Structure 1
Amino acid sequence: MDRPSKFQFTGVRSNFLLRIFDIAIIAFSLLIMMRGYNIGFDKDYLLVLIGVLFFFSYVGESLGLYRSWRLGRFSTMCRIILLNVTFAFLLMTLVLFLFKYSDTYSRIAMGGWYFLSVVLLVSWRFCVREIKRIRRIKGYNVQKIAIVGLTQTGKLLYDEIFKHDELGFECVGFFDDREPKRIENLDASLLKGSIDDAVQLARAGNIHKLYVCLPMLAEKRIADIILTLGDSTVDVLITPDFLLKNLMHARIGSVGEVDTLSVFESPVAGMKRFYKRSFDIIFSLCAIVAISPVLITVAIAVYISSPGAIIFKQDRYGLDGRKIKVWKFRSMTVTENTDKVIQAKKGDARITNVGAFIRKTSLDELPQFFNVLMGDMSVVGPRPHAVSHNEEYRKLVSYYMLRHKVLPGITGWAQVNGWRGETDTLNKMEKRVEYDLDYIRNWSLWWDIKIVFLTFFKGFVGKNVY
């Protein structure tokens, strides 16, 4: 759907480059000021540089500096940069004052360093913004969107998208169930089909975002759209009216001057993503070191028990429905990874003697800590299902695919509440999804810690695990 570009980076790589450039600019600004005032660069200035960079990076994550600014205002970004640099320098100054090192540094050089850092950080972002705007005008990294409802709000949204070409949005058109003759004071030629046509485009993956601009009086139709798209990973956003925007506790975004309300978006964003990822890396590293004797022992046992690979890598759906390879110790004589995967049942002949034990105790899932380190999984999150099971249950369980708005986990809220193992009935899968969505809606870092703690007592075994 996007015009291919060898220079097109993923969001993760782009954010990494942003951080590297920010660090380089702040360090460069200090060196410029020191050179201007003939000050030698010694260990004292190295320490203060490291301190400012640390505070800048930490405060930047807290203020959401490295979130996606595609839909944000540039003026807001500039204010966050100013706050970020100010907090970083104030915190560093406080540390120097408390340890009585403040007299070691030139106040003029430090002040100039602060102002030059702000100017350069804003300037280079402005240049990047202009480069992105030009590239998007040429068709690179363009996201296709559809607007449901040829209404005044929908037309305002359309005009803002047309006016702000730097957003990189291409509107494929309006979709409305009303006849063209019933649409007053608006250009009916913009209609491209019915609401069902827009839903089909979204489910087919032909658009990136779907904006619902129907009046709140059409709540049943809006609810039907949301329910239907519950088995897709398209971003669904509602443009709220005055009442909705002031009564609902939801994240408000904007396209130009038109406000939008997030319906289907990942709740782990900004600083939350930073906290969760930090927890995942630290915990998984510690876990791998701590359980390394167990990993080696199980690997030897699997190797001896039956011929075949020690590690079984099975296709699963990860974040946003993308396929990932989930690592497990092989517990069967077969390694099924086809379009149809038969779940293990009680007395399953495919399971080896060692496999039965490691499946019952969840030891087969320990290699997934390496998936966590690679960023494909999280320590806590909805358990990833086989691709064939996903395709089956997304048609049967409402909002099933919303499980993929966060990284899949080694353990989860459903697992510690007893919903792990075989899902041989629809009710079992519905209960698992119910707990998964409850976790996603109410996520917090402390809840992750609680689930990890409960896993030691409830999550390793289960009556439905074979």
Structure 2
Amino acid sequence: MDTANFVQQRRALPGLQSLIGRLLDVMLVVLGALAASQVRFEDLAQSRLDTAFIAFAAAFTLVLFPAFGVYGSWRGRAMLRLAGQVSLAWLIVQGCGLVLMFSLHRSDFVSRLWFAYWTALTGSALIVSRLVVHTALAHIRHAGLNLRRVAVVGCGAHCHQVVRNIEDSPASGFRAVAAFDVRPAIGNGSLRVPVYSDMARFVAYVRSHDVQELWLALPLSEERTISRFVSEFRDDLVNVRFVPDMRSVALFDSGMIELIGMPAINLVASPVPAPALVKKEIFDRVFAACALLALAPLLMAIAIAVKLSSRGPVFFTQKRKGADGRIFRIYKFRSMRAHAVEAGVVKQATRGDPRITRVGAFIRRTSLDELPQFFNVLRGDMSVVGPRPHAIEHDELYQKVVNGYIHRYRIKPGITGWAQINGFRGETDRIEKMQGRVEHDLYYLRNWSFGLDMRIVAATIAKGLVHSNAY
């Protein structure tokens, strides 16, 4: 009976924490609206505060925030990624509220400035509240409290790496206390935890020292060892987790998925899960629409300048490969004079290229020629952030000589990307340049998050669009 009560208490605690978190978020939404009204109108009595809008936002918060994983356990999660999830969830909540208000013909009663203040203040409050809790928990865990004791089972280097990752992340809430090396080798003494090679002694240690987590850091070939440990602790209150060593077979960091009701691990597949792609798609469309509206005067000015610079169309279009290798037409402002093109041959622009007009040289150097690609994003051909698309003829060449090139097609190409903000843009006159670009693109795929996308967008704006490699 005591054991059953203990299990029920452990299961009830996360639910209580989630409930408190939801109530706090709703309170911040309401308080944010009141604070925004105070800033905008200075007198609440004279403000045009739309209580229906606030109620809709609170309801959407309760419904949509759980779908974005906002209330999941923070243990072991990066704060930057959590902040990105909260930001995206809140922006979508506000977007849904606007759509609903527009549908009910109440949008004219909403002050745009108040709405902007409300969105910014509440978004900041939602992130700061989590940052405060995250920081407090980190200090508590640094002090040795609120920790989960972890025993690691693994083989050689991977086992040691998992233990060191735990030791290097004291704020994560995990503490490594023991390790079992299936294939003991020289170098075990470098770990600061006891390392066992006898299973019976290791099992006894786990049970006698209140170890809550058992991590099986094993390759797939150790199926029998995995089964032995799962069977051994089947009737214990120990969380048994599989941290597979996939370095020899997996291209990207492997993730567990479900296929027609069966668990599966991705070995060579898109590292960005489908729910994340949906979030990215929503952000892309909203961002592109806002960018096109904001940049409309600039787009018109560039279009006129291009038309006056030389004979020919305003836009230059070219076939490119998108996600899963699908062909689409990319839009750019024309930067070159009209010239004959040899079939099947694409000549990249070089420094001092006589084909480039004066206006073209400026818009290429500042990347303003890329702005029409926001139409591609709006159409669903491209993303705001992703690997830059290349001419199809270059794709066919580099696919054969650059390792991993084909995997750039796992997601939609982007207007800007991780490679571009790290200096890999412009002409690729050497294989080494393309290899460096592809390596950065694959890093982006392995480490994608909404926070990383925001970092790339911010870096693109902060560094400016001008780059010495663009001509």
Q: TM-score, normalised by structure 2?
A: 0.48
Task: Return the structure number with greater relative CO, CA threshold 8 A, min gap 6.
Answer: 1
Q: TM-score, normalised by structure 1?
A: 0.48
